[in-house]
Amino acid sequence: MLKLICGALAAWSLAVPLAAAAAYPDHPVTLVVPSVPGGAADVVGRLVAAELAKRWNVPVIVENRAGGASIIGTQAVARAKPDGHTLLLGPDASFTAVPYLLPDVPYQAKDFAPIATLATLQYVLVGAPGAPFKSLRELLDQARARPDAITYASGGPGSTHHLAMALFERAAGISLKHVPYKAAPQGFVGVMGDQVDLMFIVASTAVPQIKAGKVQGLANAGAAPIAGAPELPMVKDTVKDFTFYSWFGLFAPARTPAPVLAELQNSVAAVLQSPEVRDKMQAQGMIVGDQDGLGLSERIARDVQVLAPVIADIKTATSKQQ
């Protein structure tokens, strides 16, 4: 299945006209970010857009189109003219989970040409300040004693935060209650306000609020220390083999001309090698992307396989609630 998905994605990314394209870009480029301003996707989008604008000497406009588990913004790019002037900053869940989890999603992977991985994100498991548990071990003990009593926030069904917690539940052998919000920042506010018990949230958002005492830092979801919070214990040391990262990729509509895709890949690679960009991403707790379009296609295929059992669990649980 992995080879089939990979081959299909690679084919879609290359199935474009090979005729020479006009000078690209020759007018402003729109980068659609399918989430609210201020979140991690928005930060990455604006950083990359600013650097591309300098390189191309044309405006690169970030357009936030949030809603519908990122479907609204993603669909808009799928339907855009395939000339490279409308691009998508795609969160991983838009390609690895949402099409498999939600009914009637109005786009497919074949509607896009992958360009590059922009950033890989580290995550922290945070608890509400008034939550009855004060450590990962206490959380696990209480969750096993009281199934479905502890609540967690996400940015909506099928969002990265939802998937992270579903993987955690499966690995730890616990059952928690999902409280979906319209967007991750709203869910995080819910945790800070003691309306929800916990959440997996990107490290760049979590660490300042942990230091300010507004949330509990329970554990690092990754396999390496997080800059700014190296003292956080790792989930994998308590829950065997559990690690979680997410990523942001850059996509163009399918059928974008090959010369345009080549320019996009070359320009993005140069931007990501910039010391200024690397420093800013690392300061946000992000790992700078190093995959081209083919590498991103392969990553999507691997993630689809990893998430398949969790998505099946989520769909089963949802059907029981209906």
Question: pLDDT digit string (tens) for 173-185?
Answer: 999 999 999 888 8
**pLDDT band at residue 320 under the 50/70/90 scheme:** low
Q: What CATH code is carried by the domain that includes residue 292?
A: 3.40.190.150
Is the pLDDT score of 143 beyond 80? yes
Q: Poorest-confidence range of 18-27, 209-218, 271-280?
A: 18-27
Pairing, β 216-220 against β 112-127: antiparallel
pLDDT at 22: 60
**pLDDT band at residue 112 under the 50/70/90 scheme:** very high
30 vs 12: CA distance, rounded Å: 22
Q: Which domain holds residue 105?
A: 29-121+246-310
**pLDDT band at residue 15 under the 50/70/90 scheme:** very low
Whether residues 142 and 239 fall in one domain: yes
142 vs 177: CA distance, rounded Å: 13
**pLDDT band at residue 315 under the 50/70/90 scheme:** confident
**Considering 244, 264, 280, which residue would you say is the last residue of a domain?**
244
Decide if 6 is inside a domain: no
pLDDT at 289: 95
Decide if 80 is inside a domain: yes
**pLDDT band at residue 263 under the 50/70/90 scheme:** very high
Decide if 18 is inside a domain: no
Whether residues 131 and 238 fall in one domain: yes
Whether residues 131 and 85 fall in one domain: no
**pLDDT band at residue 6 under the 50/70/90 scheme:** low
DSSP state of 237: G
3-class secondary structure, 85: coil
207 vs 203: CA distance, rounded Å: 6
Asked if 155 contacts 162 with a C-beta cutoff of 8 angstroms, the reply is: yes
**pLDDT band at residue 16 under the 50/70/90 scheme:** very low
Decide if 284 is inside a domain: yes
Asked if 94 contacts 249 with a C-beta cutoff of 8 angstroms, the reply is: no
AA letter at 217: G
Angle subtended at Cα 283 by Cα 275 and Cα 67, rounded to the nearest 5 degrees? 105
Domain count, the chain: 2
| Strand partners of residue 122 | 245
**pLDDT band at residue 44 under the 50/70/90 scheme:** very high
Q: What CATH code is carried by the domain that includes residue 182?
A: 3.40.190.10
Whether residues 256 and 113 fall in one domain: yes
**Considering 229, 244, 259, which residue would you say is the last residue of a domain?**
244
Q: Averaged over 267-276, what is the pLDDT?
A: 96
Is the pLDDT score of 322 beyond 80? no
Whether residues 240 and 129 fall in one domain: yes
Burial class (CB in 10 A: 0-12, 13-18, 19+), 257: buried
Q: Averaged over 125-144, what is the pLDDT?
A: 98
Counting residues of the chain whose pLDDT is more than 90, the rounded percentage is 79
For 189-206, how does the pLDDT look when each residue is reduced to its tens digit (9 = 90+)?
999 999 999 999 999 899
Whether residues 201 and 140 fall in one domain: yes
**Considering 209, 244, 279, which residue would you say is the last residue of a domain?**
244
pLDDT at 308: 94
273 vs 131: CA distance, rounded Å: 42
Decide if 20 is inside a domain: no
pLDDT at 318: 72
3-class secondary structure, 56: helix
CA atoms within 13 A on the CB side of 54: 10
Q: Averaged over 113-135, what is the pLDDT?
A: 97
Q: How many helices (H) and strands (E) does the chain have?
A: 12, 10
